[in-house]
């Protein structure tokens, strides 16, 4: 990777970007939101092979290959019905290599090539002719102790890494990490979607599991709320500082206790219509904000994805294979009930994400630039790329400033991509700041300070880490 990657071509601006980047390139990584598996660090087992580590779990890669006609079976994605899929990891790798040109100008390429270069000392380009050599090089490294999860965590210079964990499941690996003597800070994030969304698979069973974990009677609205609050405490006890909520919309509600109790009762009996389910989820966001004020957990909201839009892919392969599609997302009306109650409360931090970038300048920056409880999460999922990250700064900063944003989230299941993702984000922010400096809109000294804010101080402060 060239040292000036992602920096503007203008020599004066590029020189500024280089200097800014020099101040942040080596800062420790704050990873407050992502999908790493805590078992990696609890067990510290070697990663099996290049394909299982770098290809199969990365839906950025799967979806683009799939869009060009490569069956998911040929990429080793397991079918729900147990039908055979490709199991030859090297064959899958070769398939990726043969189609690597599809990834030109995508962030997935930036991340993977930087991973190759910095982690595995691979300097040649991935293509049919180099596929085997690169595969072998990576496979050989993965057998070495220095490539075990804990060693990589340290090598990656991670200060803290939050995983995302269902509220109704035990936190065995986190407990093990907590009890163990490894110094790496890996913490859970409270993700209650499966016990909060009446339309989630197994909602009733999930709520029962939550009751069992907490010893609360989750057949009543009061008991259910007590169970949720207790479970939040359990996450907090293992170092958790945040909750995360993936809802179809940003709808919130402020119902009376009896209305909410009725919805809950209907939900448990499977009698809720879609509008009732939406109302219940909406009410639960407001309940979560209330609990956040009580227990101090930072709240994150990720709305606006149509999950599993591709029916066939969902039926054959299940969730998270690349079939989520964004939709227009309203925040202004949707959040009002919650904001009417808690929006002016400094104790609450509610971090908003979006897949609909039209909301950046129209809704999110105006909201976060006004309500004390609101902050803007970084560009997410389809927007976590250089161009979109630049647009995020260009459309939010003038109204919300930098201080109402929370720095970067890598938000990934692809562990090895974490350093590259942070590096890309730091480069993009430095490029943006360099332009401000070159255009005399910011002093270089202020830009230096801001670069450190964006890379390190803001996420640490926003997530109370």
Q: Is 18 in the site for a copy of itself (CB under 8 A)?
A: no
Q: Is 412 in the site for a copy of itself (CB under 8 A)?
A: no
Q: Is 107 in the site for a copy of itself (CB under 8 A)?
A: yes
Q: Is 243 in the site for a copy of itself (CB under 8 A)?
A: no
Q: Is 348 in the site for a copy of itself (CB under 8 A)?
A: no
User: If you search the block for the tokens 């020189």, which residue do you land on?
Assistant: 15
Interaction residues for a copy of itself, span 49-68 (CB under 8 A): 63-64, 66-68
Asked whether 197 and 247 are in contact (CB, 8 A), the reply is yes
Q: Is 346 in the site for a copy of itself (CB under 8 A)?
A: yes
Alpha helices in 68-202 (DSSP H): 89-98, 107-120, 131-142, 149-155, 172-179, 193-196
Contacts of 429 (CB under 8 A, 6+ apart): 389, 393, 451, 454, 455
Question: Residues 20, 31, 110, 430: which binds a copy of itself (CB under 8 A)?
Answer: 110
Helix axes 221-237, 257-268, angle to 10 degrees: 90
CB count within 10 Å of CB 440 equals: 7
CB of 436 to a copy of itself, least distance (A): 6
- Where does this chain touch a copy of itself (CB under 8 A) — which range of 139-147, 181-189, 280-288, 402-410? 402-410
Q: Is 198 in the site for a copy of itself (CB under 8 A)?
A: no
Question: Residues 25, 39, 102, 230: which binds a copy of itself (CB under 8 A)?
Answer: 102
Interaction residues for a copy of itself, span 363-392 (CB under 8 A): 363, 365-372, 374, 382-383, 385-388, 391
Q: CA-CA distances (angstroms) from residue 385 to 108, 116, 229, 376? A: 9, 19, 36, 17
Torsion of CA 448, 449, 451, 455, to 10 degrees: 140
| Count of residues engaged in binding a copy of itself, rule: CB under 8 A | 91
- Where does this chain touch a copy of itself (CB under 8 A) — which range of 99-107, 160-168, 205-213, 246-254? 99-107
CB of 212 to a copy of itself, least distance (A): 38
Question: Residues 12, 123, 157, 169: which binds a copy of itself (CB under 8 A)?
Answer: 12
Nearer to a copy of itself, 253 or 367 (CB): 367
Q: Is 157 in the site for a copy of itself (CB under 8 A)?
A: no
Measure the CA–CA gap between 162 and 108, rounded to whole angstroms.
Answer: 22
CB of 270 to a copy of itself, least distance (A): 25
3-state DSSP call for residue 375?
strand
Residues in a beta bridge with 191: 166
Question: Residues 320, 325, 413, 444: which binds a copy of itself (CB under 8 A)?
Answer: 325
- Identify the CA nearest to 76 among candidates 63, 94, 60, 89: 89
Give the contact letters, 117-156, x = binds to a copy of itself (CB under 8 A), - = no.
----------------------------------------
Nearer to a copy of itself, 115 or 385 (CB): 385
Interaction residues for a copy of itself, span 277-306 (CB under 8 A): 306
Q: Is 180 in the site for a copy of itself (CB under 8 A)?
A: no
Nearer to a copy of itself, 268 or 368 (CB): 368
- Where does this chain touch a copy of itself (CB under 8 A) — which range of 23-31, 164-172, 214-222, 326-334? 326-334
Interaction residues for a copy of itself, span 424-453 (CB under 8 A): 435-436, 438-442, 446, 449-450
CB of 253 to a copy of itself, least distance (A): 15
Measure the CA–CA gap between 424 and 253, rounded to whole angstroms.
Answer: 38
Q: What is the DSSP letter of 167?
A: T
Measure the CA–CA gap between 328 and 359, rounded to whole angstroms.
Answer: 9
Q: CA-CA distances (angstroms) from residue 234 to 170, 226, 240? A: 10, 12, 9
Helix axes 221-237, 203-214, angle to 10 degrees: 60
Q: Is 83 in the site for a copy of itself (CB under 8 A)?
A: no
**Structure token digits, residue 251:** 């709808």
Q: Is 418 in the site for a copy of itself (CB under 8 A)?
A: no
CB of 361 to a copy of itself, least distance (A): 6
Q: Is 27 in the site for a copy of itself (CB under 8 A)?
A: no
Helix/strand/coil percent split, the chain, to 5: 55, 5, 40
Asked whether 60 and 108 are in contact (CB, 8 A), the reply is yes
Asked whether 97 and 122 are in contact (CB, 8 A), the reply is no
Q: Is 395 in the site for a copy of itself (CB under 8 A)?
A: yes
Asked whether 163 and 42 are in contact (CB, 8 A), the reply is no
Measure the CA–CA gap between 444 and 343, rounded to whole angstroms.
Answer: 34
Q: Hey, which bits of 366-416 come out as E strands? A: 374-376
Q: Is 318 in the site for a copy of itself (CB under 8 A)?
A: no
Q: Is 461 in the site for a copy of itself (CB under 8 A)?
A: no
Question: Residues 43, 259, 265, 330: which binds a copy of itself (CB under 8 A)?
Answer: 330
């Amino acid at each position: 990777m060239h040292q000036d990657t992602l920096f503007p071509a203008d020599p004066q601006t590029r020189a500024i970007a280089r200097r800014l980047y020099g101040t942040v390139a080596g800062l420790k990584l704050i990873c407050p939101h992502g999908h790493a598996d805590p078992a990696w660090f609890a067990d510290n087992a070697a990663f099996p092979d290049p394909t299982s580590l770098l290809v199969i779990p990365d839906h950025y890669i799967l979806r683009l290959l799939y869009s060009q006609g490569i069956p998911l079976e040929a990429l080793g994605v397991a079918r729900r019905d147990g039908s055979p899929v490709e199991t030859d990891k090297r064959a899958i790798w070769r398939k990726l290599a043969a189609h690597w040109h599809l990834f030109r100008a995508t962030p997935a390429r930036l991340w993977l090539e930087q991973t190759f270069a910095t982690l595995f000392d691979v300097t040649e380009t991935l293509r049919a002719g180099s596929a085997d050599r690169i595969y072998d090089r990576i496979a050989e490294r993965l057998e070495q102790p220095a490539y075990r999860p804990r060693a990589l965590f340290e090598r990656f210079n991670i200060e803290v890494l939050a995983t995302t964990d269902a509220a109704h499941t035990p936190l065995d690996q986190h407990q093990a990490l907590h009890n163990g003597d490894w110094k790496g800070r890996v913490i859970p994030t409270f993700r209650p979607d499966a016990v909060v969304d009446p339309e989630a698979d197994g909602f009733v069973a999930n709520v029962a599991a939550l009751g069992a974990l907490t010893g609360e009677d989750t057949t009543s609205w009061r008991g259910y709320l007590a169970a949720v609050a207790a479970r939040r405490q359990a996450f907090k006890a293992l170092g958790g500082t945040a909750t995360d909520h993936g809802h179809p919309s940003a709808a919130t509600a402020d119902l009376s206790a009896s209305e909410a109790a009725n919805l809950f009762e209907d939900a448990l009996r499977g009698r809720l219509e879609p509008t009732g389910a939406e109302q219940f989820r909406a009410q639960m966001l407001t309940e979560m904000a209330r609990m956040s004020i009580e227990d101090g957990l930072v709240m994150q909201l990720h709305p606006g994805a149509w999950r599993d839009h591709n029916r066939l892919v969902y039926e054959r392969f299940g969730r998270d294979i690349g079939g989520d599609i964004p939709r227009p997302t309203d925040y202004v009306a949707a959040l009002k009930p919650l904001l009417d109650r808690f929006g002016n409360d400094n104790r609450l931090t509610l971090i908003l994400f979006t897949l609909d970038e039209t909301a950046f300048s129209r809704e999110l920056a105006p909201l976060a630039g006004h309500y004390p409880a609101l902050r803007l999460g970084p560009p997410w999922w389809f927007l976590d790329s250089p161009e979109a990250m630049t647009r995020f700064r260009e459309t939010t900063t003038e109204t919300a400033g930098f201080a109402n944003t929370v720095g970067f989230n890598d938000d990934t299941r692809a562990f090895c991509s974490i350093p590259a993702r942070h590096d890309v984000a730091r480069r993009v922010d430095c490029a943006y700041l360099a332009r401000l400096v070159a255009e005399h809109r910011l002093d270089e000294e202020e830009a230096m300070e801001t670069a450190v804010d964006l890379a390190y101080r803001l996420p640490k402060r926003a997530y109370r880490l």
